[in-house]
A and B are shown apart, each in its own frame.
Chain A
Amino acid sequence: PFGLKPFFAQASNLRTNAGGNPWSHTSRGASVGQRRRPNEVEGHPPHLRRGGARPGAQRQLHLPRPRHRSFPHRRGGVRAGVELRLLRPAPQRRLLLHAQELQRPHLPRGRGDGPDHPVARRDKDADRGDGQGLARHGVRPAPPELLPFHGRAVPAPRHGPLAVLGHEPRERGRFADRQRARLQNRHGGVSLGVLRSLHGPAALAAPDNAPAALPAPDAERKDLEEEGPRAARPWRADRDMEVRKWEEMLAVGIPMFMRHHPVTFQRRLHRGVPPTLRWQIWKDACGYDWRGPVEQYDELCGDSQWSPLIALDIGRTFSELPEFGESRQQSLRRVLNAYANHSPTVGYCQGMNFIAGLLLLVSGSERETFGVFVRLMDHDGLAGFYREDMPLLRTYVKACDRLVAEQLPELREHFLRESVPLALYLHQWFLTLFIKSFPLATVLVLWDVIICGGLPGILTIAVTILRVLKDGLLNLQFEEINSIFKAMKEQKSGEFLSYRIGQLLMRESTAVGLPEHIQEYLRSKPEAEAREGPLEDDEDEEHWSALAARHDTPRRRRPGATRKHRLAASAARQAPQEKCDWAERGCTLAERELACLVLDDLKIETLEPEPDPVARNLAAALAAAGVCLDDASLSADDALYLGVAPRA
Chain B
Amino acid sequence: MASEKEKDQYDYLFKFIIIGDAGAGKSCLLHQFIENRYKKGSSHTIGVEFGSKIIHVGGRNIKLQIWDTAGQERYRSVTRSYYRGAAGALIVYDITNRDSYNHLVNWLQDARTLARADTSIITVGNKCDMKDKRAVTFLEASRCAQENDILFLETSALTGEGVEDVFIKVARVILNKIEDGLIDPNTMVSGTHTGSQRIGSDSGGEAMSSKTCSC
The interface of chain A, by Cβ under 8 A from chain B, is: 309, 312-313, 316-317, 319-320, 349-351, 386, 388-390, 393, 417-418, 421, 423-424, 427-428, 431-432, 436, 475, 477, 479, 482, 486, 534-536, 579
Contacts and interface: CB of A to CB of B under 8 A. Distances in A.
Nearest to B42: A316
Interface of B: 1, 4, 22-23, 41-44, 46-50, 52, 70, 72, 74-75, 77-78, 80-81, 198, 201, 203, 205
Contacts of A428: 46-47
A388 B201 contact: no
Contact of A349 (B1, B50, B74): B74
Contacts, number: 69
Contact of B72 (A349, A393, A418, A477): A349
Contacts of A579: 1, 4
A423 B22 contact: no
Contacts of A482: 50
B52 A316 contact: no
Contacts of B198: 477
Contact of B80 (A309, A386, A424, A534): A534
Nearest to A347: B74
B43 A317 contact: yes
A432 B203 CA distance: 32
Contacts of A320: 41
Contacts of A317: 43
Contacts of B22: 309, 312-313, 350
Nearest to A391: B77
Given A424-B48, A431-B46, A535-B78, A477 B23 contact: no
B78 A390 contact: yes
Contacts of B72: 309, 349-350
Contacts of A475: 201
A129 to B, nearest CB: 56
Nearest to A319: B41
Nearest to A397: B78
A61 to B, nearest CB: 49
Given A417-B205, A423-B47, A432-B46, 6 more contacts: A316-B42, A431-B46, A436-B43, A436-B46, A479-B50, A482-B50
Contacts of B75: 350, 390
A317 to B, nearest CB: 7
A389 B42 CA distance: 25
B77 A389 contact: yes
Nearest to B85: A419
Nearest to B198: A477
Contacts of B43: 316-317, 319, 436
Contacts of B74: 349-350, 386, 388-390
B44 A313 contact: yes
Given A317-B43, A427-B48, A579-B4, A477 B203 contact: yes
A320 B40 CA distance: 10
5 contacts: A417-B203, A421-B81, A436-B46, A534-B80, A536-B81
A519 to B, nearest CB: 24
Nearest to B72: A350
A393 B46 contact: no
B87 to A, nearest CB: 15
Nearest to A576: B1
A464 to B, nearest CB: 21
Contacts of A386: 74
Contacts of B52: 479
B50 A424 contact: yes
Given A312-B22, A427-B48, A431-B46, A350 B81 contact: no
A536 B78 CA distance: 10
A534 B81 contact: yes
A486 B42 CA distance: 13
B38 to A, nearest CB: 14
Contacts of A316: 42-44
B46 to A, nearest CB: 5
Contacts of B80: 534
A350 B70 contact: yes
A75 to B, nearest CB: 45
The 8 closest A-B pairs by CB, nearest first: A427-B47, A534-B81, A319-B41, A316-B43, A428-B46, A312-B23, A389-B77, A350-B72
B20 to A, nearest CB: 13
Contacts of A486: 49
Contacts of A312: 22-23
B44 A418 contact: no
A427 B151 CA distance: 32
A535 B81 contact: yes
Contacts of B205: 417
A319 B39 CA distance: 12
Given A312-B22, A312-B23, A418-B203, A390 B46 contact: no
Contacts of B77: 389-390
